[in-house]
Amino acid sequence: MLIRPARPEDAAAVWSILEPVIRAGETYTLDSDMSEREALAYWFGPDKETFVAEDGGAIVGTYYIRPNQAGGGRHVCNCGYMTAAAAQGKGVARTMCEHSLAHAKACGFRAMQFNFVVSSNARAVKLWQTLGFATVGRLPAAFAHPVHGLVDALVMFRAL
């Protein structure tokens, strides 16, 4: 699997990954009716560095990294990861997260924070734990899950 910076010509492939995740509304706090233009503007925002994961020439995942806060909070980064529906369960998210941890360290970040991990997303919670993230906060009933109703969200954190 090759992880490389996203290029403008990757937009359609990235959108094909983002769209089902956004439409489902189960894991990200993004409006489920976001347009392609809005979603790509968000994912390729000026505060972010965006990557794609390629496997056999196909784009199977994408992630962004950005400073989580400005000013005195700039040494902590934040990332978001999405895997293509067809590539689930193949370690794409793990590989992207490992890449992001190394990249973050190389960029001088001192820690990585996930602000809002939906607690019902058990696979993600487990994966971040195995990658060394601790749950440092729990936001009670902070997420309205379309199937499960109100569920907690977790704040997860890892020093670099």
Q: Which residue is it, tokens 């001088």?
A: 108
Backbone angles phi, psi at 36, to 5 degrees: -55, -45
29 binds a copy of itself (CB under 8 A): yes
Beta-carbon count within 10 A of 117 CB = 22
43 binds a copy of itself (CB under 8 A): no
Stretch that binds a copy of itself, among 8-16, 23-31, 57-65, 83-91 (CB under 8 A): 23-31
Task: List beta partners, residue 66.
Answer: 78
Q: How far apart are alpha carbons 146 and 45 in whole angstroms?
A: 27
At its nearest, how many Å lie between a copy of itself and the CB of residue 22? 8
Greatest Cα pair distance in the chain: 42
Stretch that binds a copy of itself, among 12-20, 57-65, 93-101, 152-160 (CB under 8 A): 152-160
Complex with a copy of itself: residue 89 or 146, whichever CB lies closer: 146
Complex with a copy of itself: residue 59 or 77, whichever CB lies closer: 77
Complex with a copy of itself: residue 16 or 115, whichever CB lies closer: 115
Geometric angle at alpha carbon 125, from 26 and 96, rounded to 5°: 90
Selected from 6, 14, 17, 28, the binder of a copy of itself by CB under 8 A is 28
Q: How far apart are alpha carbons 80 and 65 in whole angstroms?
A: 7
Site residues for a copy of itself per CB under 8 A = 25-26, 28-32, 69-76, 110-111, 113, 115-116, 118, 136-146, 153, 155, 157, 159
